[in-house]
């Protein structure tokens, strides 16, 4: 009995010793974790103190800027008033010089601000290649820039509209066929447009565009337009082309044959001898969307004979000023 009791006590003592050792290790681990947390807390407190210092400095800076803002705004207002007064003086001087016959560089003139007689200014191009403003028909007494190469008023209405961007064109012209006519003319003269339905012609025809190609071009330009409405727009656009070009264009009907069927198609023609202000004499090469036939090389590529010709009247270009 005594031996068993001693063995039991030894086991209990060993168990207590092991448990005590585990507790000591646990206490040591907790102390290490606590020390790390204390260190972390001190770091965060230091960062918080720095942030508070920075915030205080920024608040002070904001207060200083707010105190300085009224004088800065006052100076800006004074500068704005001075600039407005200077612009008014300059525009008044420009108006007086224009009324005396001066030609002023386009880049220096705000045409919406200059107040001249009848509110009419004319944009011109001179021999130096630069754009100028003048009163209609006035000659520069100093002769700067050379002679007038081409005045804006010398251009046909369709040429004037073709120089406008889309926003200005919408503001100037409310009729869709007229806008389409202007954009169609611009596609002919401006390679940057890209979508050009005009083709090179021959035998006295500089360029032409067919009604069918015009219909496809209109549908590309105006999304959502049905084919039937595009056909109506073709006729109205052709009428606008004739009117805005002052009948420098011609309309011809040509009998065509396709897939065994015969039909008549209208063509809008720009004749080689048409008087187009500032335009070339017809030697310009135009790349169309179809066969791209060059001038003087159309040899029966399109079968059929002409049955009706509607040639527009030739009229000499008139120089007219444009309302601002």
Read off the pLDDT of each residue in 171-176 and give the average, rounded to a whole number. 90
CA torsion through residues 184, 178, 320, 322, sign: negative
Q: If pLDDT is split at 50, 70 and 90, which confidence band does 5 have?
A: low
Within-domain flag for 146: yes
Within-domain flag for 248: yes
Residues 148 and 173 in one domain: no
Range of the domain at 231: 157-323
Return the higher-pLDDT residue of 189 and 236: 236
Within-domain flag for 22: yes
Return the higher-pLDDT residue of 237 and 279: 237
Cβ atoms 201, 297 nearer than 8 A: no
Within-domain flag for 90: no
Residues 270 and 173 in one domain: yes
Helix 211-221 and helix 227-244, axial crossing angle in degrees, nearest 10 = 110
Residues 237 and 258 in one domain: yes
Residues 178 and 197 in one domain: yes
Could you read off the pLDDT of 37-54 as tens digits, one per residue?
A: 999 999 999 999 999 999
Within-domain flag for 94: no
| Average per-residue pLDDT for the chain | 78
Cβ atoms 241, 184 nearer than 8 A: yes
Residues 139 and 171 in one domain: no
Within-domain flag for 270: yes
Conformational region of residue 111, where left means phi above 0, alpha means psi within -120 to 50, and beta covers everything else: alpha
Rounded alpha-carbon distances, angstroms, from residue 262 to 86, 265, 316: 70, 10, 38
Residues 194 and 253 in one domain: yes
In this prediction, residue 4 carries a pLDDT of: 66
Residues 11 and 111 in one domain: no
Could you read off the pLDDT of 78-92 as tens digits, one per residue?
A: 889 999 899 989 989
Query: Nearest Cα to 101, choosing from 47, 144, 58, 165?
Result: 144
């Amino acid at each position: 009995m005594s031996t068993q009791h001693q063995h039991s006590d030894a086991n209990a003592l060993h168990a207590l010793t092991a448990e005590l050792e585990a507790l000591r290790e646990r206490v040591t681990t907790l102390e290490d974790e606590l020390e790390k947390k204390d260190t972390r807390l001190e770091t965060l407190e230091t960062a918080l103190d720095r942030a508070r210092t920075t915030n205080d400095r920024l608040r002070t800076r904001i207060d200083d800027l707010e105190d300085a803002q009224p004088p800065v705004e006052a100076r800006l207002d004074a500068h704005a008033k001075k600039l407005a007064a200077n612009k008014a003086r300059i525009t008044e001087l420009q108006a007086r010089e224009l009324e005396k016959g001066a030609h002023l560089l386009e880049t220096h003139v705000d045409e919406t601000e200059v107040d001249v007689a009848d509110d009419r200014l004319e944009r011109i191009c001179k021999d130096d290649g630069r754009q100028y403003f003048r009163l209609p028909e006035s000659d520069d007494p100093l002769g700067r820039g050379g002679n007038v190469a081409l005045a804006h008023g010398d251009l046909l209405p369709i040429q004037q509209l073709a120089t406008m961007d889309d926003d200005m064109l919408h503001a100037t012209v409310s009729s869709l066929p007229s806008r389409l006519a202007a954009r169609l003319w611009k596609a002919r003269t401006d390679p940057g447009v890209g979508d050009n339905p005009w083709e090179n012609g021959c035998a006295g025809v500089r360029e032409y565009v067919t009604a069918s190609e015009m219909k496809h071009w209109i549908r590309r330009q105006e999304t959502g337009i049905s084919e039937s409405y595009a056909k109506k727009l073709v006729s109205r656009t052709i009428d606008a082309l004739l009117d805005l070009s002052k009948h420098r264009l011609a309309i011809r009907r040509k009998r065509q044959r396709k897939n065994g069927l015969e039909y008549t198609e209208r063509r809008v023609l720009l004749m080689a001898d048409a008087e187009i202000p500032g335009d070339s004499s017809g030697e310009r090469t135009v790349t169309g969307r179809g066969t791209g036939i060059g001038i003087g090389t159309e040899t029966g590529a399109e079968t059929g004979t002409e049955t009706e010709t509607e040639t527009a009247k030739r009229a000499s270009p008139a120089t007219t000023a444009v309302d601002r």
